[in-house]
C-alpha cells in the first residue's frame, strides 16, 4: 500500500518533571525535557506522530538543532515522494544525516504510526509475533541520591506497585553499598533490584569490584558497568561476575549489536527506538538478539507518553521481550507532572497499559 508524504512538521514542546524525582546519574542531571514533536501527513490527510527525546548529555541532540534539520533538510527531502513501507523513509534519513538517532527515530515512528493508521490497525498487528500483552511491568529508576532519598524513592515506587527497582550507581561521593543495604533493610528481599552504572566504572577491575560489593543485595542484573565505547571491557567483566549484564549505552545500532554479540559482551539488551535511530532498527535488533539467545528490555531516555506508546508497543508485541521476567523502563508517568497525549498512556500498579487504538494508539496534545 503506497503512501505519499505531503507534509513534515516539527514543533518544540516543554515538559515539567516532579522536582523531587529528577533523574541524576553518572552522566549528569536531567531536570527538564525540551523535546521535538513530529507530525507527518499523507495525501489522504492521515497523520502520524513521533517524539524526539532530545537530551544533550545522552545523544548530543537538542530540540532546536532537530527543528532546524527537519525544516531545512528532512522536510524537503521527504515531501512529495511515495513510499511502500515506512522503513524506506529511514533509509533516506540515514543517507542524508549522520547521527541524530532520536530525531531519526521520531520521524520513523511517525511513519509507522501513519502507515498503521492508513490501514486502521494498531502497529502491534503489523509487527507482532504474539497478541500484544495487556500491560508491561516497569522498573523505577532511582537516581544517584543519598541513602535517605534512595530509600524514600524506593518506598514510594514499591507502594505504587512497581516490583523492580533500578538504582543508579557509580557516582563519586555516594556509598552505593550503603544505599542498596538500606533499601533491602527497609523493603526486604521481595523487590527485584538492578543497578545501572551508566558506564561509570572506568576499568575492568573497578567494575568487577563495584559489582561484587553489591552482589550480596541480590541483584537481578547489572546495567552498563563499563564506558559506552569499551565493549571489549564489558565482555571481560561479564566473564568475571556471576550476574547477568545488560548493555545499554554500548549498543545503539544494529552494527554495535553485531560487535557485542561477536565478543559475547552481554546477556540482555536495552532497546528503544530513540537510541536505536528508529523503530525499524529496534525491530531488527530485537530479532537479531533473540536469534542469538539474548533477551530484550525497553530502555528509555525520559520519553513522555508520546514516545512511550511506541516503546510499549515493541515490548508488548514481541516474544523477544520476556516482560514478566525482566521489567522495562516505562515509568515516566511517575516523573512528569502531566501526560503529553490523548488518551494518556496509563500506568497502573507498576505496569504500563498497552494502548489499543490505531497506529501507536495516542496523539500529542496541542499546546
Ligand atoms: Mg541505562
**Distance from the alpha carbon of residue 240 to the mean position of ligand 1, in angstroms:** 21
- Model confidence at 5: pLDDT above 90: yes
**Distance from the alpha carbon of residue 30 to the mean position of ligand 1, in angstroms:** 13
**Residue 19: pLDDT band by 50, 70, 90 thresholds?**
confident
The CATH number of the domain holding residue 186 is 3.20.20.120
**Distance from the alpha carbon of residue 263 to the mean position of ligand 1, in angstroms:** 20
Contact, 107 vs 93, CB < 8 A? yes
**Distance from the alpha carbon of residue 337 to the mean position of ligand 1, in angstroms:** 22
Q: How many residues does the chain have?
A: 367
Share of the chain above pLDDT 90, in %: 91
Phi then psi dihedrals of residue 284, to 5 deg:
-60, -45
The CATH number of the domain holding residue 107 is 3.30.390.10
Contact, 358 vs 121, CB < 8 A? yes
**Distance from the alpha carbon of residue 223 to the mean position of ligand 1, in angstroms:** 6
What is the average pLDDT across 345-350? 94
pLDDT digits (tens, 9 = 90+) for 130-174: 999 999 999 998 989 999 999 999 999 999 999 999 999 999 999
pLDDT digits (tens, 9 = 90+) for 56-84: 888 899 999 999 999 999 999 999 999 99
Q: How many CA atoms lie within 13 A of 124 on its CB side?
A: 23
Residue 306 structural domain: 125-364
Residue 309 in grid coordinates:
506508546
Boundary (domain end) residue, out of 72, 90, 120:
120
Q: What is the enclosing helix (H) or strand (E) of 33?
A: strand 33-42
| Same domain, residue pair 133 and 100 | no
**Distance from the alpha carbon of residue 331 to the mean position of ligand 1, in angstroms:** 13
Q: Which residue in 53, 129, 89, 58 sits closest to 283, CA to CA?
A: 129
pLDDT digits (tens, 9 = 90+) for 243-297: 999 999 999 999 999 999 999 999 999 999 999 999 999 999 999 999 999 999 9
Phi then psi dihedrals of residue 61, to 5 deg:
-100, 150
Residue 73 in grid coordinates:
533538510
Indicate the DSSP class of residue 216.
G
pLDDT reported for residue 29: 74
**Distance from the alpha carbon of residue 119 to the mean position of ligand 1, in angstroms:** 35
**Distance from the alpha carbon of residue 195 to the mean position of ligand 1, in angstroms:** 9
pLDDT reported for residue 367: 62
**Distance from the alpha carbon of residue 249 to the mean position of ligand 1, in angstroms:** 7
What is the average pLDDT across 25-48? 89
**Distance from the alpha carbon of residue 41 to the mean position of ligand 1, in angstroms:** 33
Number of CB atoms found within 10 A of residue 267's CB: 16
**Distance from the alpha carbon of residue 248 to the mean position of ligand 1, in angstroms:** 5
**Distance from the alpha carbon of residue 224 to the mean position of ligand 1, in angstroms:** 7
Cα separation, 163 vs 320, whole angstroms: 21
**Residue 359: pLDDT band by 50, 70, 90 thresholds?**
very high
| Same domain, residue pair 287 and 181 | yes
342 to each of 4, 37, 355, 360, how far by Cα in Å? 26, 14, 11, 11
**Distance from the alpha carbon of residue 286 to the mean position of ligand 1, in angstroms:** 17
Structural domain total, the chain: 2
- Model confidence at 121: pLDDT above 90: yes
**Distance from the alpha carbon of residue 18 to the mean position of ligand 1, in angstroms:** 20
Contact, 226 vs 233, CB < 8 A? yes
| Same domain, residue pair 141 and 115 | no
Indicate the DSSP class of residue 98.
S
Phi then psi dihedrals of residue 353, to 5 deg:
-80, 130
Boundary (domain end) residue, out of 120, 151, 169:
120
| Same domain, residue pair 223 and 328 | yes
Cα separation, 125 vs 360, whole angstroms: 10
What is the average pLDDT across 216-235? 97
**Distance from the alpha carbon of residue 107 to the mean position of ligand 1, in angstroms:** 23
Cα dihedral sign for 297, 300, 305, 307? negative
3-state secondary structure of 129: coil
| Same domain, residue pair 72 and 199 | no
| Same domain, residue pair 292 and 148 | yes
pLDDT reported for residue 26: 67
**Distance from the alpha carbon of residue 76 to the mean position of ligand 1, in angstroms:** 35
Contact, 12 vs 82, CB < 8 A? no
Q: Which residue in 263, 251, 336 sits closest to 297, CA to CA?
A: 251
Cα separation, 198 vs 224, whole angstroms: 5
Cα separation, 185 vs 147, whole angstroms: 12
Q: Which residue in 133, 128, 152, 134 sits closest to 142, CA to CA?
A: 152
pLDDT reported for residue 41: 98
pLDDT reported for residue 222: 98
pLDDT reported for residue 25: 67
Average pLDDT over the chain, rounded to an integer? 95
pLDDT reported for residue 21: 67
Amino acid at each position: 500500500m503506497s503512501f505519499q508524504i505531503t507534509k513534515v512538521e516539527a514543533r518544540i514542546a516543554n515538559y515539567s518533571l516532579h522536582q523531587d524525582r529528577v533523574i541524576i546519574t553518572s552522566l549528569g542531571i536531567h531536570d527538564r525535557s525540551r523535546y521535538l514533536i513530529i507530525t507527518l501527513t499523507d495525501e489522504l490527510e492521515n497523520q502520524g506522530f513521533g517524539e524526539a527525546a532530545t537530551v544533550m548529555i545522552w545523544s548530543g541532540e537538542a530540540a532546536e538543532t532537530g527543528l532546524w534539520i527537519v525544516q531545512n533538510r528532512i522536510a524537503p527531502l521527504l515531501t512529495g515522494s511515495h513510499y511502500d513501507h515506512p522503513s524506506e523513509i529511514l533509509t533516506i534519513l540515514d543517507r542524508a544525516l549522520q547521527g541524530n538517532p532520536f530525531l531519526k527515530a521520531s520521524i520513523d515512528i511517525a511513519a509507522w504510526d501513519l502507515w498503521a493508521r492508513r490501514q486502521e490497525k494498531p502497529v502491534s498487528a503489523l509487527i507482532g509475533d504474539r497478541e500484544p500483552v495487556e500491560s508491561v511491568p516497569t522498573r523505577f529508576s532511582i537516581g544517584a541520591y543519598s541513602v535517605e532519598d534512595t530509600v524514600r524513592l524506593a518506598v514510594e515506587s514499591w507502594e505504587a506497585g512497581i516490583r523492580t527497582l533500578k538504582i543508579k550507581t557509580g557516582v563519586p561521593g555516594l556509598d552505593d553499598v550503603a544505599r542498596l543495604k538500606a533499601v533491602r533493610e527497609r523493603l526486604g528481599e521481595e523487590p527485584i533490584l538492578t543497578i545501572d552504572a551508566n558506564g561509570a566504572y572506568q576499568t575492568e577491575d573497578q567494575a568487577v569490584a563495584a559489582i561484587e560489593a553489591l552482589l550480596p543485595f541480590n541483584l537481578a542484573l547489572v546495567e552498563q558497568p563499563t564506558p559506552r565505547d569499551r565493549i571489549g571491557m564489558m565482555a571481560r567483566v561479564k566473564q568475571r561476575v556471576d550476574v547477568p549484564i545488560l548493555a545499554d549505552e554500548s549498543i545503539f545500532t544494529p552494527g554495535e549489536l553485531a560487535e557485542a554479540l561477536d565478543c559475547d559482551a552481554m546477556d540482555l539488551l536495552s532497546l528503544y527506538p530513540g537510541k536505536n535511530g528508529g523503530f525499524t532498527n529496534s525491530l531488527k535488533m530485537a530479532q537479531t538478539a533473540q536469534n542469538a539467545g539474548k533477551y530484550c528490555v525497553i530502555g528509555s531516555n525520559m520519553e513522555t507518553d508520546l514516545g512511550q506508546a511506541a516503546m510499549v508497543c515493541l515490548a508488548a508485541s514481541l516474544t523477544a521481550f520476556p516482560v514478566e521476567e525482566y521489567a522495562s523502563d516505562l515509568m515516566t508517568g511517575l516523573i512528569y507532572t502531566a501526560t503529553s497525549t490523548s488518551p494518556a498512556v496509563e500506568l497502573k500498579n507498576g505496569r504500563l497499559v498497552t494502548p489499543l487504538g490505531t497506529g501507536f494508539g495516542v496523539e500529542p496534545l496541542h499546546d
